[in-house]
Structure 1
Amino acid sequence: MRNSVQLATRSLNLLCVFGLLCTTHLSLLIPIVHAQTLNQIGIDQTQAIQRQRVAVLDFDFADTGSVNFANLFGGASPAQGVSNLITNALVKDGSYSVIERSKIDDILQEQNLGASGRIDPETAAQIGRVLGVDAVVIGAVTQFNIEANNSGSGFCVFGVCSAKQKSRAIVQINARLVSTTTAEILAATQGKGEVDKKSKALNVSGIYHESKHADPETLLSAATEIAVNEITREIIASASKVTTAASFIPNVNAVVADVTNNLVTINKGQEAGLKTGMKISIERVAKEIKDPETGKTLRALTSPIGTIELIEVGQGFATGKIAVGAGIKRGDMAKAGQ
């Protein structure tokens, strides 16, 4: 009996030791798993932050008046409809961070900038800088119509004639992806959609009656979707080009407008291609070389006194925190990309 009690006691002790070891290992393992989870969250957040920002402006469209598209895009024109479809496709893909249309309209209105009519790459880049994006999608709807073709084949019985008709919707779109930093065209693409549908028509005493009517709106909608898909594939494939162009630092000469504590504000911003995160060299004029005849300054020799990192960029200004240096004051030169 005594041996049985001793055996039970030893078994209980072993279980307690095993439980203690398991608890210890589990307590060591939990922080590791937690750290890995946090690291993964950090990686996912970094990847999300690294997505380049893009805006899709209204496409150019010359209305021929041959097609009634009032209900096709919810009352919007094909120019706005195509822009919205491209925006939705880019959002769904997730390669870019796409700015909302309402925000585009608000900023353009606030800055008194027009986005109607044909927009060249330089103008698109300027608008994109105001919007604070890395690239802008612009383009034109060059074809948006229905073609009807009577085959001529058919038969007539007692004055009632049958003929075959084929309706074809054709939508063609040209698009360009423009860097807001360099105004460079990063991608130029064309999308074309064609959708056919046959129908039968009866001619009774000179009046045509169609059966299985080919709805023009349905055909145009399908053709537009095909064209937009071709466009967005090319834009998505060019995401790496946008990233490369966004890392380019433009040549900018600005002047320090204000120094408050550790913050320095300069007199140039989005319109000059500046973006948050850029390093700006702060320099002081050491000597001015002047024309002996006119007294005009030919050249200003400067010496570096510090560096700031931009944390806020707006229209006509940029603010950065001092990374290196001291004694920066109003009137000093601010230089980037040099």
Structure 2
Amino acid sequence: MKITMKSGMPAILLSIALGLAGCGEKAAQPSVASSAPKLTQTPDVGQVEQVITTATGSGISPGAALNDALKLAIMQVNGAAVQANSSNASMFEQVTATLDVDSTAGSGSASMKATMQGQAFAEQIISQSKGVVSSFKVVDVASPFSKGGLYKVEIEARIAKFKAPADSGKIKIVVAPLRSEQVSFNIGGRAVPAQEVLAPIRQQIIDALSQTGRFTVLDRQFEGELQDELNMITSGNSPSTDLAKLGQALSADLVWVGVVNEFAYQRHARKLQTSDRELVSYAGAWSVSQRMINLATRQILQSTTLRGEPPAIAATTLGSNFNESQTLKNMQAAIVKQATEAILLRTFPISIVERDGDNVVLSQGGNAVVENGRYRVYQQGKEIKDPQTGQSLGNMEKLCCEVRIERVAPNLSYGVLENVKIKLDGIAAGALQVREAAPVEKAIVKTEPVVAPVKTEVKRSTSAAAAKNATAVGGDKDW
């Protein structure tokens, strides 16, 4: 369509109107909201950030006062562990020592103050810090009021500080090495060294707790290697910003300890009297006493004894398919499963965190639940407290349903609710908690009706032919 205008003004107005209309059309278009899920790209290991702080130092010279102020600024941000580092404490002395030359009264003092507050001096401090200080300025310099007094220097600096990872806010737990009074364990007639049994159990418990995503599991096994890395920071062979990582080691909230009382799967053999063959059978059991201790108070939060019996192998003379390695692994796995479940039940019961109809998401994965397993789910009600001590005894529970696990992820599990007995609408997230495994329903075996046997009667024959046949076969017999 061709538009002809007789004057310039209407054309301009039309152009503006068309432009506004175009803007309106763009504004009318619905904005496309980003619905992409937030994906974790890299593990959160913490990071070094910059913190602005002020500090006032004092000393017998301007250089000493400035050094004192810098040390205080670093200590305020990163703590005494970083400030006490010898290389960090002296990193500025080379620059600030030149200030003592102009520390006399009169014009020298004024010149010294101007030097300290100049941009060139600030850049020297930043360069000398090698990353610990990213910005620096001297706010004020005060000379001593009398002979023998102290100089005072006030500074403002941006100091590198280590920001701890988000996981550091979780409950921090240490899994102590398992103990036993036995030096070896009898597995199928062979004495297996205790360390070969106990060390894998501890490692598997660490793995299981880490996979739940509920704990910050602290390492206490490789302290030597970790200290070597920290020593490299203090030696000056790494960037000075890494100094902010010193003094950041986390201490445990809980310590799990276990003592193996019994662990055996013995071979029993009996020689038969009638032959040289042996009648061989296998049977065993294990028992582990565990405690979970509050590190700060030494209070025992949980103390239980876990027990288990692996399937026995019946006596036979035909030999058995006993697998020593697999039997040992199965017994270790049973201990890990019960220990992990006991820790989680005391600290973080498994709950349903999301629900879409009967499809649900559970708050834990890893080894907390088993794929294709079925578990009972309870609705949490009113909290019950002991009337004598005031201590919480837990919540009232009502059986809700069962959940069948379809998929297990490292930190989550996915399942389907079945046999629902209550109305689920309006129940808050976390109010449905997973408990024990649901009992397996016994299969109903269909049997055919029993048919009574048909009774038949044989009548005696009195005919001559029958008598003749009887005589021919067996002589004179009474039929």
Larger relative strand fraction: 1
Give the number of the structure with larger relative contact order, counting CA–CA contacts within 8 Å between residues 6 or more apart: 1
Q: Please say which structure displays the higher CA radius of gyration.
A: 2
- Please say whether Structure 1 and Structure 2 have the same fold, judged by a TM-score greater than 0.5: no
Question: For this structure pair, what is the TM-score category when the shorter chain's length is used for normalisation?
Answer: 0.3 to 0.5
Normalising by structure 1, we get a TM-score of 0.44
TM-score, structure 2 normalization: 0.33
